[in-house]
Copies of this chain bind each other. A is one copy, B any other.
Amino acid sequence: MESIAVDDCLGRITAEPVFAFRSSPSYNAAAMDGIAIRFADLSEANEASPIRLLKRQYLPVNTGNSIPQGFNAVVMIEDVHQVTESEVELHMPATPWQHVRTIGEDLVATELILPEGHKIRPIDQGAMLSTGITEIKVQRPPMAHVIPTGSELIQPDQAPEAGNIIEFNSRILAGYLKEWGARATRGLPVVDDQDELKLAIKTAAEKNDIVILNAGASAGTKDYSAKVLAEIGEVIVHGVAIKPGKPVILAIVENTPVIGLPGYPVSALLTMRLFVQEMISGFSGNASPQPQMVEAVLSRPLHSSMGVDQFVRITLGKVGKNLMATPSGKGAGSVMSLVRADALLNIPAGSEGIGAGEKIEVEMLRSQNEIDATLVFIGSHDNILDLLANQLHKQRPVIRISSAHVGSMGGIMAIRRGEAHIAGCHLLDESTGEYNVSFIKRFLKEIPLQLINLCYRQQGLIVAKGNPKKITGFRDLACNGHIFINRQNGAGTRLLTDKILKEEDIDPGTILGYDHEEYTHMSVAASVANGSVDAGLGILAAANALDLDFVPVAEERYDLVVPISFLREKKMNIMLELIRTNTDFHENIITLGGYNLRDCGKIMYEQ
Contact = CB atoms under 8 A, between A and B. Distances in A.
A274 interface: no
Contact of A109 (B109, B338, B546): B546
A531 B223 CA distance: 75
Residue among A69, A122, A532 with max Cβ neighbours from chain B (10 Å): A122
A487 interface: no
A286 interface: yes
Interface string A326-353: 0000110111111100000000000000
A102 B532 contact: yes
A225 to B, nearest CB: 13
Contact of A398 (B25, B165, B287, B331): B287
Interface in A361-402: 367-370, 373, 386, 389-390, 393-394, 397-398, 400
Interface range on chain A: under 10, 10 to 19, 20 to 34, or 35 or more? Answer: 35 or more
A179 B126 contact: no
A103 B515 contact: no
A527 B100 CA distance: 13
Interface string A1-19: 0000011001000000101
Interface string A510-541: 00010110101011011101111000000000
A570 B322 CA distance: 32
A63 B31 contact: no
Given A62-B221, A163-B66, A171 B125 contact: yes
A118 interface: yes
A22 B3 CA distance: 47
A64 B263 contact: yes
A220 interface: yes
Q: Could you say how many copies of this chain the assembly holds?
A: 2
A130 to B, nearest CB: 5
Contact of A33 (B134, B179, B220): B220
Given A62-B221, A106-B334, A109-B526, A125 B168 contact: yes
A111 interface: yes
B122 A171 contact: yes
A376 to B, nearest CB: 16
A162 B265 contact: no
Q: What secondary structure prevails in chain A residues at the interface with B?
A: loop
Contacts of A10: 175, 178
A36 to B, nearest CB: 12
A545 interface: yes
B109 A132 contact: no
Contacts of A176: 122
Given A290-B369, A529-B103, A66 B522 contact: no
A207 to B, nearest CB: 21
B127 A156 contact: no
A530 B103 contact: yes
A212 to B, nearest CB: 13
A489 to B, nearest CB: 14
A152 interface: yes
Given A113-B339, A115-B390, 8 more contacts: A6-B171, A28-B530, A108-B520, A110-B545, A123-B339, A132-B166, A133-B156, A286-B397
Q: Which 4 A-B pairs have the closest CB atoms?
A: A122-B175, A104-B526, A66-B162, A62-B220
